[in-house]
Chain A
């Protein structure tokens, strides 16, 4: 999923301070799962903004709505009936959702309420960790299902480096060395020979190196 964290309330207050009526929009997908921008977080932020502004003597009306998916125009259309009389929109979705709202409602300022962080998985309740960088040329089949692009600080194709100690990366005790994980996994699979194969330098073009990316499925595209 795409993970995110709410921005500091102070920053959000400054965004909405000039306005009398805002629409706060959550998303039922990734940001709900990582507890950053779902229906509950929309309620919490609306209350927090309302109280913080009330304290400083200004009143604001906050309409709340959470879309099934904020990065799809079909769902964003739901907001059309709520947009009248609203001075600005604040989105609790990832950057994709924020941009979709800005594209759809050209006359309204749109502000992000969260910082979009990374594509990750849940390690345990309340903990999410980076797992994928969308490099566009997945090599997990060669590395025992552990990604050296997302999980090695140096993105080494042939690791580990000299900074790997006791299974940890030199950048921090709490960071696993991706190449140590790859070695352990290949051993479990009985595929140790893969470890000595030299992988060529990575082509970064499919990973965004040649500009913003797009997927066109000709059978589906209209």
Chain B
């Protein structure tokens, strides 16, 4: 697919990545429009079902963005989210979706530049991987 534009869902913690996205905006930093942001109260609020449903509905990539290690607003939600992402990656192996399509990233609320950089890097990575097998099957 030459003109493939991936659909990427980013679950962003209200206390860091979502604010970082705001920061990126006020700094006039651009990032790919492929990234669809869903604000969550903490990265640990994201459930396996949210991630799996995103892929089922045709997302090519998903990432969960939480606070820097040790900086979770709710003490340790971000480290729980890391374990959740690993758990879902194992399930993706079973389903037959490349685990690289799901990622956990960490940043602080002030890292507008990092937010834009992560969004760009993940979009490029997914673009190279091509459409997810589910997206491809739905489009047939």
Contacts and interface: CB of A to CB of B under 8 A. Distances in A.
Nearest to A48: B95
A40 B47 contact: yes
Contact of B138 (A10, A44, A54): A54
What's the dominant secondary structure at chain A's contact region?
helix
Interface in B82-97: 91, 94-97
B53 interface: yes
Contacts of A8: 94
Looking at B52, B53, B138, the one whose CB has the most chain A CB atoms below 10 A away is B52
A50 B48 CA distance: 16
Given A51-B97, A55-B134, A40 B56 contact: no
Contacts of A50: 56
A47 B49 CA distance: 8
Given A44-B52, A47-B55, A54-B137, 15 more contacts: A40-B48, A43-B49, A44-B48, A47-B49, A48-B52, A51-B52, A51-B56, A51-B95, A51-B134, A52-B94, A52-B95, A55-B96, A55-B133, A55-B134, A55-B137
Interface of B: 47-49, 52-53, 55-56, 91, 94-97, 133-134, 137-138
